[in-house]
Amino acid sequence: MEVCPLQLPQRLLLLGAATLTASALHTADLVDLCGRTWQGAGLLLRSHSASRRFYFVAPDTDCGLWVRAAAPGDRIRLQFRFFLVYSLSPPAPAPNASAPPPADPCAPGSYLQLYDGPPATPRPLGAPLCGLTIPVPVATSGDLLGLRLVTRGRQPRVDFVGEVTSFRLGSCGAYFPCRNGRCIPPSLVCDRWGVDNCGDGSDQASWAPANCGVPSPEPSQAVNMDDGTSQTLTPSPALRVSGLLGTATEMSPPAHWDPAPQAVALEGTES
């Protein structure tokens, strides 16, 4: 399914009016930041606050978040630790054997669409993502990455954890030099979650130049607002309402559910 900018809801095109900024690695929940732009060096992004414990099952969700790199000239890399996005609706049967496959590989279920570029003129970064397979890492061509979560069909099931990293290529300067040629903000080196921001493990290595030790306890989730105030990213009260979350012990879809092979966005060429 190819989504053009004119088809996006107006609230997705107005992202940027409220911007969260952070200088180190923080955690946030996509459904708590709908309609906002987050800027920083690194982000551990969950689908919702109860990720890995309960599914997010709110139907008819259409939630967009834009992520901006830490500095001009940086790009954004996203890799998933865990991924589960689908709905319990069975796929619609084909009217006849010769009918072409549906244009939307995730129909009629839920999906996550990634975008490259500014909110006003976003470009789909690959096909919609759905199913139970962890997508391959992706990288933007500029400093903005968009994420749009849409739940549709009967009984959506959403749960994912992604790692967002601001990086640059070329001369690292004050940035940390990864073995693979990327450069990442020094605040991400030896982070407390052990996130592989470089993509090759060199920022979490116990040898030089990282010289990482044993990870320490998880830090707070406070981030700085662009008005100079501080805000703690706490779970949305709406997520605690009965009916919005389903138990994550149902880790397999029903037997009749047979998702089409998922087309994933390959990581952009970094040259």
For the chain, domains (ranges, CATH) are 5-93+103-172 (2.60.120.290)
Phi and psi at residue 187, to the nearest 5°: -70, -15
Q: Is 197 a residue whose pLDDT tops 50?
A: yes
pTM of the model: 0.71
Q: Per-residue pLDDT for 184 more than 60?
A: yes
Report whether 84 contacts 112 (CB < 8 A).
no
Report pLDDT for 263.
Answer: 38
Work out the pLDDT band at 99, boundaries 50, 70, 90: low
Highest mean pLDDT among 4-8, 12-16, 23-27, 190-194: 190-194
Please name the residues in contact with 202: beta carbons below 8 A apart, sequence gap of 6 or more. Answer: 178, 179, 180, 210
The alpha-helical segments, DSSP class H, found in the chain are 10-13
The band of 95, judged by pLDDT with boundaries at 50, 70 and 90, is low
Average pLDDT value for the chain: 77
Residue 154 scores a pLDDT above 90 = no
- Rounded to whole angstroms, the Cα distance separating 235 from 238 reads 8
Provide the Cα torsion 248, 50, 28, 155; round to 10°. 60
pLDDT at 25 over 80: no
pLDDT-based confidence at residue 92 (cuts at 50, 70, 90): low
